[in-house]
Structure 1
Amino acid sequence: MSLIILCIYMFFLQKDEIAYVDSSKIIAEFKGAEEAKKAFEQKTKSWKLNIDSLTTEVQNSIKKYEKDLATMPVKEQQLSKQLLDSKQKQLLDYQNAIRQKAQQEDGKLSQNVVAQINAYLVKYGKSHQYKLILIANQSGTIAYAREGLDITKDVIEGLNNDYTNGR
């Protein structure tokens, strides 16, 4: 009799201990990721404005140089050309530095978001007694999963609740 009860428990009542989440949905719907993206976009907007104003300044200097070139003495032409070349180099250096800074900032924000998600998945997995939570991504790492194993919606809701309450 106890063998029958054990079989019934094992077959019908035992909880699935493996589940998966869709990483692209989590990233798309996690409020922390949305806010990190908005903060990054704000920074890049500011950097772009600085680059645009410096570019305009260099372009105006070029126009002034070209306009005044015919009336300048040779020595002044050479000095103005050197100054102009220096401004152009500074602009290129600044653009490259901002590009690198943007890449680093984006990487740092992405790592922070992924760390928050991973920490929540560990907490969620332990509290729901999962042995394993897999991550499905656009590469198709999970070819098939029985209906009910996708816990993405629950994870997103809990992650967003934790994020909103943890601020």
Structure 2
Amino acid sequence: QAASAAGGRDVLLVGTASNLLAYDVHRNADSWFKEMQDGVSRLAVGPLHGAGDGAPLAIVGGNCSVIGLDAAGEEALWTVTGDNVGAMCLADVDGDGKKELVVGSDDFDIRVFRGEEVIAETTEAERIVGLTDLSGVTYGYALGNGTVGVYSRGARAWRVKSN
């Protein structure tokens, strides 16, 4: 996952089962290294409504947790989810012009966070394996059983099941 660091440089984020590395591509050097107790199963990058100072965060989904790290690798966000994080995206789900964090986990739940607070939650029929911002107040999702669908303003707009 690539991110723009302080100073406008590109940074490559590399997550493993126990660490997150931020690599400064232009300097050809490590920017910072962080041990992640809950692992790194998913990454998202961007400013998050209710967390940090509006600067982009490296948002890490792991085993039952979500952690946001600033450009220096310092923790700016920490919250919990119900299970291992299977998918994440940043999307403006409430139409206020600011991105919330949408997290899908292996307990079949999709949770929407504003900072560390859950502002919406819905349960699906299978584990969530994909989430993407579609524009406006909509985001798409994919489930482990092949189902795909769209939520708009927190309500399911449509879904298609495939075998």
Is the shorter-chain TM-score for this pair beyond 0.5, marking a shared fold? no
Larger radius of gyration: 1
Q: TM-score, normalised by structure 2?
A: 0.19
Higher helix fraction (1 or 2): 1
Whose relative contact order is higher, 1 or 2, with alpha carbons under 8 Å and at least 6 apart? 1
